């Protein structure tokens, strides 16, 4: 696989497809990239930016020149495109997808007798924001990228594609499709459902004047951020990985039932152990890892409630060429230290901002 002169096609140019395309353009500038998306503006933007060499208005014979094709649409849509591509692609073309559910796609590939040249893929990255406009050429950096070749996938193809993915800055991990689906149900699919349910819980409890909506800031906004993800995408994921999701949610219902029972008994030691065990495991999770939820880089500072103090803090960062993604006053500080919340674009900017502000005697808390 000559990575410098490949022809690569993208069926779907959303957050993931767009980010992979931008990364390939940065790492392998001589590659020829083609794309299709039902959102024609995404394709026009990719061409204007020099990411794509050409944008197609349909999935047709023009994709026959591709050495690799990334399927970056929802799972069921990817399966429908497989049937179209079967009679289009060359014998040497590698097909891959980026969906977070693998078993249904793998089954379709096997049924279509396309397994030898198909390798399922899933970059462990994401955001509550979607679409090509939010894609970037660094999204894959140091992120796990699951690869799920089938039983009949050509071994040398798997080896070369793994090297290609690692060359983009990601960390390739090979799993069986069914193993992948259980893992992602545990660490992504069920947490998204729980986040949505937490929002529904507060929504149902809210009064007519929306008081809870005003008060539910700080920690609540953080732990439910992923509930803002695309409902279309999550419908696809839940329908295609329902067995694993159901098993894990059932286990969770049993656990919550136990908590209710122990609360009824007034069993404080149970509650203590419940939080202690959870805290110990959470603290063992690496903080520096790149995960599915797109970590935000925040710091908080203590400032007095006086005119100009917010602008002064922001100006200090501007003078040091540190760009601010968002800034605001935290009114509900139940889970956060500091009055002023500053969101930066990356870890380096966050650390630099903290240093600048500490040097000017601000009390800084880094999340």
Contact between residue 114 and residue 82 where contact means Cβ atoms under 8 Å apart: yes
**Whole-angstrom distance, CA of residue 252 vs CA of residue 255:** 5
- Categorize the per-residue pLDDT at 306 as very low, low, confident or very high, splitting at 50, 70 and 90: low
Question: Of 187-196, 260-269, 334-343, where does mean pLDDT reach its minimum?
Answer: 334-343
Q: What is the pLDDT of residues 9-48, one digit of tens each?
A: 999 999 999 999 999 999 999 999 999 999 999 999 999 9
- SS3 state of residue 232: helix
Q: Is the pLDDT of residue 260 over 90?
A: yes
- SS3 state of residue 302: strand
- Categorize the per-residue pLDDT at 367 as very low, low, confident or very high, splitting at 50, 70 and 90: low
Q: What is the pLDDT of residues 44-77, one digit of tens each?
A: 999 999 999 999 999 999 999 999 999 999 899 9
Share of the chain above pLDDT 70, in %: 90
Query: Residue 148: how many CA atoms within 13 Å on its side-chain side?
Result: 26
333 burial (CB, 10 Å; 0-12 / 13-18 / 19+) is middle
Share of the chain above pLDDT 90, in %: 55
- Categorize the per-residue pLDDT at 2 as very low, low, confident or very high, splitting at 50, 70 and 90: low
Contact between residue 48 and residue 132 where contact means Cβ atoms under 8 Å apart: no
Contacts of 180 (CB under 8 A, 6+ apart): 102, 120, 122, 146, 148
Q: Which residue's structure tokens are 């197609």?
A: 56
* DSSP conformational letter for 84: H
Contact between residue 122 and residue 98 where contact means Cβ atoms under 8 Å apart: yes
Name the pTM for this structure. 0.75
Beta strand segments in the chain, E: 7-11, 32-36, 54-56, 68-71, 94-97, 118-123, 144-149, 171-174, 297-302, 324-329, 340-344, 363-366
């Amino acid at each position: 696989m000559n990575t410098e002169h490949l022809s690569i096609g993208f069926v779907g140019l959303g957050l993931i497809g767009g980010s992979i395309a931008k990364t390939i353009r940065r790492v392998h500038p001589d590659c020829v990239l083609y794309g299709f998306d039902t959102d024609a503006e995404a394709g026009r933007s990719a061409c204007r930016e020099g990411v794509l060499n050409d944008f197609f208005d349909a999935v047709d014979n023009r994709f026959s020149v591709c050495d690799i094709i990334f399927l970056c649409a929802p799972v069921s849509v990817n399966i429908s495109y497989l049937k179209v591509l079967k009679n289009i692609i060359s014998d040497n073309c590698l097909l891959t997808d980026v969906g977070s559910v693998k078993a249904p796609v793998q089954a379709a590939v096997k049924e279509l007798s396309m397994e030898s040249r198909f390798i399922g893929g899933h970059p462990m990255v994401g955001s509550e924001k979607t679409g090509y406009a939010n894609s970037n050429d660094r999204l894959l950096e140091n992120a796990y990228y699951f690869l799920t070749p089938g039983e009949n996938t050509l071994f040398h193809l798997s080896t070369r594609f793994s090297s290609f993915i690692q060359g983009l800055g990601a960390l390739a991990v090979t799993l069986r499709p069914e193993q992948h689906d259980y893992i992602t149900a545990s660490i992504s699919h069920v947490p998204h459902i729980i986040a949505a349910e937490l929002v529904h819980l507060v929504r149902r409890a809210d009064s007519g004047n929306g008081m809870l909506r005003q008060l539910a800031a700080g920690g609540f906004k953080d732990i439910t951020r992923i509930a803002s993800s695309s409902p279309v995408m999550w419908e696809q994921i839940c329908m295609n990985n329902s067995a694993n999701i159901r098993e894990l949610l059932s286990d969770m219902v049993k656990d919550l039932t136990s908590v209710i029972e122990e609360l009824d008994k007034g069993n404080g030691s149970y509650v203590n152990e419940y939080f202690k065990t959870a805290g110990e495991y959470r603290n063992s999770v690496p903080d520096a890892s790149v995960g599915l939820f797109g970590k935000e880089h925040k710091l908080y500072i203590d400032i007095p409630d006086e005119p100009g103090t917010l602008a002064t803090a922001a100006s200090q960062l501007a003078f040091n060429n540190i760009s601010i993604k968002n800034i605001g006053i935290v009114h509900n500080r139940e889970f956060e230290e500091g009055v002023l919340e500053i969101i930066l674009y990356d870890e380096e900017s966050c650390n630099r901002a903290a240093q600048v502000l500490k040097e000017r005697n601000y009390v800084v808390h880094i999340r």
